[in-house]
Structure 1
Amino acid sequence: MATGWAGDGAVQDQIDATVKDAIKRARSRLPQGPGLERCEECDAPIPEARRKAVPGVRLCIECQQAQDEAETGSGGYNRRGSKDSQLR
């Protein structure tokens, strides 16, 4: 049963489109092509097993971990869900 201006399933269609866009965006950020033999940050050798496992790899494990931690950061996730955390 549709209410208002939205047709049946319109909300689900919007959710599906949002998920598809997020997947497409995430896949576009994945490295592609041949991987580097040496890390572009610290010039350490990248093992062949890592180059085979991660297509287009550009960083050694240590530099990749540092980059991932910097991107993630500590967002101050409050598991208790207190009112103060929701106001920020």
Structure 2
Amino acid sequence: MSKRPELAEPVVVDQFWANRRHDAIITELSTYQGHNLINVRKHAMNREGKLVPTAKGLALKVTRLPDLAKAINKAVEKALELGLLDEGDTE
């Protein structure tokens, strides 16, 4: 198996507002100490109006990304089944 590339800087994949206080959930790919990671983290707005990462989040080796995607998809299906989401909420 060949060595996987490392990222010099984090790559933001997606972000969305978490609440009305302008906290955001940011998903990014990065390399830390030679390990490629997927990082899904809450960011809070500081006094200067800049989003800064908080301790609330999840970082996994990117090789676990398919497992995380499978778990998220199962959670969406279960939430639909339980009536916690409507079909329109998943678009």
Task: Provide TM-score, normalisation by structure 1.
Answer: 0.27
Q: Which has the higher strand share?
A: 2
Which of structures 1 and 2 has the bigger CA Rg? 1
More helix by share: 1
For normalisation by structure 2, the TM-score amounts to 0.26
